[in-house]
Amino acid sequence: GTLAKLWGRAIWPAVEGTSMEELAAPAYFEYLLNSYTGGLYKTLTEPIDAVAGAKSRVDKGLHTYPLVGRLVLSPYSDRRISDLHEARGTLRRRVGSGVATLEEVGKLRYMDRAADRLSENAREQQTILGDESTPRAERMAKSDEIRSAGLDLVQRTLDRSDEENRKAGIRATVYRLTDPNAEQSKIDAAVKLLADVDPRELRTALKEECLSRGQIVIRVTSSGKLTSYGTRVKLLNQRLVQKED
């Protein structure tokens, strides 16, 4: 109806490019609800939180209620997670519009990884909490351990330095630059973004990125054929000429 259309128009800028799996995550949906109700959602649910408490809510099985468990009483809610999703949405829009800096590209990369981990953690927690064959105390302890690990990861992601994010941004961008199937528009955008980076740093970044992906960083095989890494190095050298021109 009309309300659904208005809701869709309101949240679209924040969720564009977000997977359905991420949208289904309780913490992300809570962030959206609170953001687009001007804080009313949090105002209404905080009294319930105060009375029930995160652990007691799970103990009573309220997390199994389709609406209450998913939208109002999520045991995996934390301000840091909301901060992560909010910043991630902003960075996605900047990267998508081609105005992001290398630091922002790298920061988004770390945030995407953290969000993926949170989704995996949420699924694991749901499985653990729903396993009634395991004693409740044991289930709660395991769930709390997973939750703490997730929050630690979020905090580390939010606290990363500009230099760390910059290096991650260079690695991600130089890998896109050397994609043999990259469209010219993508190549041009990468060249522009890397304009102020020393070519030697770019070559080092490419090697580090390939290593992190489990690739062998040998340029030529024993038969003299270019490897996947060797092809990327060749493309980097070719496109660096375009960069220097």
**Distance separating alpha carbons of residues 49 and 36, to the nearest angstrom:** 20
Residue 161: CB partners within 8 Å, gap ≥ 6? none
**Distance separating alpha carbons of residues 158 and 14, to the nearest angstrom:** 19
pTM of the full structure:
0.69
Walk along the chain (245 residues) and give the pLDDT tens digit of each residue: 455 545 555 554 444 555 555 555 555 556 555 554 545 555 556 555 554 554 444 444 444 444 444 333 344 457 888 889 999 999 999 999 999 999 999 999 999 999 999 999 989 999 999 999 999 999 999 999 998 999 999 999 999 999 999 999 999 999 999 999 999 999 999 999 999 999 999 999 999 999 999 999 999 999 999 999 999 999 999 998 755 54
Measured torsion, CA atoms of residues 7, 8, 12, 14, in degrees rounded to the nearest 10 = 30
Predicted confidence at residue 137, as pLDDT, reads 92
